[in-house]
Amino acid sequence: MRADFRNNEKSAMIRCSMALENIFKVQSDSCMPRRFPAFTLIELLIVIAIIAALAAILFPVFAQAREKARQNSCLSNMKQLGLAFQQYLADYDSIYPTCDNDKAKISGEPPDPETPDADGPPERDWHIVLQPYIKNYDILRCPSDTSLKPLNPKNPDLDIKKEYVSSYTVNGWSEYMLAESAVVRPANWLLLGERNNVARGPKTWWMFYWWVWQGDSPKIWPPAASPDPIVKASEDLALTRHTGMSNWLYSDGHAKAVKFSTLWKAGAENPFWPNPPQK
């Protein structure tokens, strides 16, 4: 009987020991952090490839959206400059800011391009005489223009730092005693374009002589379908500043983005020519 009691006592002790071990094991397992299976190298490479593909798709979209915002800001600048031109015309007998050339005024022929030395004083430049109406030099700068913006627009460093006051350039014909009444199609005549500040130095004219784009010696006149004027035009104007096109201000005050290839036309339909002869 004693043997049975001892056997039962042993069995009870073993069961208690096993129960205690299970309790401590559960507590120990609950305190230890759970381990998850790690990524394999192939899985990591797949994730990286997906991220790279998404970046390749999204980055150009973001860049285009950013450039579109800059283009719209540039168009806003041009529209404000168009209003300033209208105010100037109202105050100065409907004559555009001028360097005076009677040949253009009287006969309607292309004015003789002047050299910078023969040009009028700087204070007569269009972007200077419009200041009383805009009172702001910032709207003279396109956000997409990468040329150096002057610290002091009233006194830019043209020689050493090569600072550029304006991203825009005026149709040279307007600089020669052009009357507002002489403009045959105000809604179609291009008054302002975007200046190529990469090719043109800051001391060159603030106007563009479009009538020499097809040749100056001998001069091709009136405007013709060929030769293609885009080579010379690209030296004066930033024709692809905004995703392959450029902004333009028309003399009636509206502005829009247009590709140069769709603008240039032969004869009296040329939008750069303000006063072609009428049939």
143 within 8 A of 73, measured Cβ to Cβ: yes
Contact 251, 274 (CB under 8 A): yes
pLDDT of 7 higher than 60: no
Name the token pair of 6.
């001892």
Mean pLDDT of 82-99: 92
Q: What value does the mean pLDDT take over residues 244-258? A: 96
CB atoms within 10 A of CB 146: 13
In this structure, what token pair is assigned to residue 253? 């005050």
pLDDT at residue 5, rounded to an integer: 46
Is the Cβ–Cβ distance between 247 and 74 less than 8 Å? yes
Model confidence at 125, pLDDT cuts 50, 70, 90, reads: confident
In this predicted structure, which of 111-115, 128-132, 136-140, 267-271 has the lowest mean pLDDT?
Answer: 111-115
Domain boundaries in the chain?
69-269
Instruction: Name, of 3-12, 13-22, 57-66, the range with top average pLDDT.
Output: 57-66
Residue 61 pLDDT: 72
- Which of 58-62, 182-186, 190-194 is the least confident region? 58-62
For tokens 């100065």, the residue is 92
Tell me the C-alpha distance between 192 and 250, whole Å: 7
Average pLDDT, the chain: 83
Q: What is the DSSP letter of 217?
A: T
Instruction: Point out the least confidently predicted range of 21-25, 44-48, 145-149.
Output: 21-25
pLDDT score recorded for residue 272:
96
Three-class DSSP category at 28: helix
Q: Taking Cα atoms as reference points, which of 151, 158, 171 lies closest to residue 85?
A: 171
* Phi, psi dihedral angles at 40 (to 5 degrees): -85, 165
- Give the per-residue pLDDT at 119: 47
pTM to 2 decimals?
0.76
Report whether pLDDT(116) > 50.
Answer: no
